[in-house]
Structure 1
Amino acid sequence: MPAGRVTPEMRTSAFYASFFTGSGAAVMFLPIWLSGKGITPEQIGLINAVPIAMILLFNLVIGRVADRAKDWRQVIVIGALIGGIVPIGLFFVNEFWGILLFWTLVCLPGGAVGPVLDAAAMRLARRNGSDFGVMRAWGTVGYMVFNGLTGYLVVWFGADIFVPLFVGLAILRALVALQLPAFRAPAEEKTVKAATSAPAARLRDIAKPWFLLPLFGFCMVFGTHFILNAFASLLWKEQGISEDVIGPLIALGAASEAAMMFLWKRFGGGISARVVILISAIASALRWFAMGFEPGIGFLVALQLTHGITFALGYMGCVHFIANWTSEDIAAETQSLYVVGQQLLSIIAVVGFGWLVKDMGAGAYFVAAALALLGGLCVWLSLRLMPAQGK
């Protein structure tokens, strides 16, 4: 590579770094910001769940359109540009219905193009022999920075800083999207995987129980992590932990996630993707079980550091599992189908958890632990139906 050359991987990493910054700020402060406006836990659950339901309606369509476009880049850039404009509406809403409407519109563009971005970046990495994990890890770095920084900004400037911060980060993401590279392989090129196997080119060829079960299983595990995003900061605040501690505490989980992604290529390729997902599910069940006892800050630090295993490991396993068995013809559509499953389970988990928190408090995490175990059972059944064979 010539000195000073900006590679497609660098451009993609830069966009990933901007992509999750708003989410990092929102996970840290959105539940508290909503609570400060008189929004109840049940309503907070709806504000987190309704956008997922709306994204659900669009994901498969967006994935199919992206697969049929000349390049996946166009869909990603358009989504980012829309996502940079819509959040301005948050300046003008203060009650439940207005916040619900605009937060749904805010989440829709990023949620719809996220699977397309993952599919595109994975295919770029396989074509060039580069590391998808490193590119995706920069997204977690951006998320982590604003997990930690948002808590301090709120302490320094007050709760009113949240909306300007979130809008600024959305505009930044839109601007960074403009420098994204082309992702799709030229017709004469083949990915590394394509040279060694014949991945499915149609969804119906791959829609079998052994393929769907591990994805569905991790969707259940993912849903339990969405509960963490929606309610952890509020539960910790009620436990007496201040915002300037909550932010870094959440950021620790993101740091663990980033470390796992940066290191993935060194060890992840030698383990079956489904075994990796199973490990993630079991670790998640143990994590949520411990969270149900409202542990102190010292123990919470240790639990947050397991995030690289409970989330990142399973996420990387699923993305590689999909790429191992599918071709570029259905890359974004299959990734979107998987994300639809995530969203369905997340809606159920977040809405249900909103009601459980009211009656059980942190004890609701015990239910999350049971869901994670069920997810692990799905992966185990898949391994019984179809041995791993290194995939």
Structure 2
Amino acid sequence: MAIMGSDNSASDESAPWLFGPRISIAYCCVFAFAGMALPYFPLWLQFKGLSDFQIGIVLSAPMIMRVFSSGPMIAYADTRPDRANFTIILYIASSLMMMLYAFVNGFWWILAVTIAMNFFFNPVIPLVDAIAMSGVRRYEANYGRIRIWGSVIFIVANLAGGQYLLNSPGEYILYALIGALVVGSFLILTLPKIGKRRNLSQSGLDQFSFSRMLKMPRFMLVLLAAGILQASHALVYSFGSIYWQSLDYSGLTIGFLWGLAVAAEVVLFQYGNWLIKNIGTMGLFAIGGIAAVLRWTVFPLDPGLTGFLALQLLHGLTFGAVHIATMYFIMESVPEERIASAQGVGFVLAGLVMAIAVFSSGFIYKNFAANGFWIMAAMAVLALVLLKAATLFPTIKNNEAEA
């Protein structure tokens, strides 16, 4: 069994040395930061005196940046000789921007730094995904077993944060986030540089330009549905920790609940290839959507610790299954030279929906408290309807031979 992804070659090109482990390290650089930022950055914003509504605005800023800047930046990476160099520059720049939080106070300055930081950080994950999926196509790399290590480090960061950050002065949350990105800035330098394919053909690439992909109904409906399913997590991402605190759960318990969700995601990634081969991308989308309806319907009912543990296990489906399905849907739909551009389309759509959901989360939680999760359940229902509508359009024709 491969430990961090397969490096077997599927073409006349040989994989770079330790391709799988080096991509896994890049995911670790991203998710060590995300593992602390997702549950604990809202608490730092609360520590800085921001209201629930202001927290919702700040947390929606990264998603808004996706819409206005990330898509074109990701598509631009497809024009470069190698996506890895551009990705490294973006990551290091984001770590420098993160340091600015230490020098600002007040809602407007914090919002400005958030916008600047995420201008650089947002494209990093889809670009690493694009490099990884190129490896799937060229070298038969196992995406799930590469990506799994990002989730493992996410769990470690979650548990460490729950143990130490919630019991420390509020500013320690910021120090931990800065530290994660600084360390990551050194490790990200190992990101493999695979360049463009040696037998590059321009035939048919114009059909899959960024602008033309926006006009493909099936492609857009599926990616929009995927974005809505991911956006249905907005309320738990923004106010999950605060909700659990209101129910008197300890910091360690909250960290464990977050970690358990990602542990379920890890299991899903471990068997991602098998699921794709036996269920297919559309089947995985449907399973993830049904699980989301169930999860968000029960979430506000305060099912007790055992119930929350079960609901967090569903994260393996509501996030993991949808993510795997999205990655393989993109790979199956476009030539390799347009994978980053296709990732950009999905990133913009998901960012737009997530921005609306996160921006609204402050208002929703303030006015409906936990009952707001029923709105998230309704979003999942809408996504299932869009997936069904997508099947009414013909399958996208990608004439490139599959790896």
Verify same fold: TM over 0.5.
Answer: yes
1:68/1:159 Cα in 2 relative to 1: closer, same or farther (>3 Å)?
same
Residue 350 of structure 1: how far off its partner (Å): 1.1
Contact 1:51 1:105 in 2 (8 A): no
Match runs of 1:158-173 below 5 Å:
158-173=169-184
Contact 1:15 1:180 in 2 (8 A): yes
Task: Look up the match of 1:79.
Answer: 90
Task: Look up the match of 2:20.
Answer: 9
Distance 2:378 2:300 in 1: 12
**Offset from partner CA, 1:166-194 (integer Å, 9 cap, x none):** 0000112211111111133432379xxx9
Contact 1:89 1:102 in 2 (8 A): yes
| 1:144 correspondence with 2:151 | no
Distance 2:261 2:150 in 1: 13
Residue 199 of structure 1: how far off its partner (Å): 11
**Offset from partner CA, 1:192-224 (integer Å, 9 cap, x none):** xx9xx9996434268321221111111111111
Residue 105 of structure 1: how far off its partner (Å): 2.2
Distance 1:225 1:76 in 2: 26
Give the stretch that moved more between structures: 181-190 or 378-387.
181-190
Query: Which of 190, 194, 206 is the matching residue for 1:183?
Result: 194
Secondary structure of 1:292 counterpart:
helix
Task: Look up the match of 1:95.
Answer: 106
Give the stretch that moved more between structures: 327-336 or 265-274.
265-274
Residue 330 of structure 1: how far off its partner (Å): 1.5
Contact 2:81 2:196 in 1 (8 A): no
Distance 2:31 2:304 in 1: 28
Can you give the 5+ residue segments of structure 2 that lack an aligned partner in the other structure? 1-6, 9-15
**Offset from partner CA, 1:110-158 (integer Å, 9 cap, x none):** 2122212111111112210110111111111121111111011124533
Can you give the 5+ residue segments of structure 1 that lack an aligned partner in the other structure? none
Query: Which of 34, 45, 51 is the matching residue for 1:40?
Result: 51
Contact 1:278 1:380 in 2 (8 A): no
1:206/1:111 Cα in 2 relative to 1: closer, same or farther (>3 Å)?
closer
Paired amino acid for 1:339: F
Task: Look up the match of 2:239.
Answer: 231
Contact 1:124 1:185 in 2 (8 A): no
Secondary structure of 1:20 counterpart:
helix
**Offset from partner CA, 1:297-353 (integer Å, 9 cap, x none):** 111011001111111101110110011010122211111110101110011111222
Paired amino acid for 1:257: E
Query: Which of 311, 315, 322 is the matching residue for 1:303?
Result: 311
Give the stretch that moved more between structures: 218-227 or 204-213.
204-213
Residue 6 of structure 1: how far off its partner (Å): 4.9
Secondary structure of 1:70 counterpart:
coil
| 1:113 correspondence with 2:121 | no
Give the stretch that moved more between structures: 296-305 or 20-29.
20-29
Contact 1:257 1:311 in 2 (8 A): yes
| 1:370 correspondence with 2:378 | yes
Contact 2:39 2:238 in 1 (8 A): no
Distance 1:358 1:258 in 2: 33
Identical counterparts, % of pairs: 25
Give the stretch that moved more between structures: 58-67 or 309-318.
58-67
Secondary structure of 2:391 counterpart:
helix
Q: CA RMSD in A?
A: 2.4
Distance 1:104 1:237 in 2: 28
Task: Look up the match of 1:208.
Answer: 216
Contact 1:148 1:247 in 2 (8 A): yes
Match runs of 1:275-294 below 5 Å:
275-294=283-302
Task: Look up the match of 1:359.
Answer: 367
Distance 1:83 1:384 in 2: 42
Distance 1:28 1:180 in 2: 27
| 1:331 correspondence with 2:342 | no
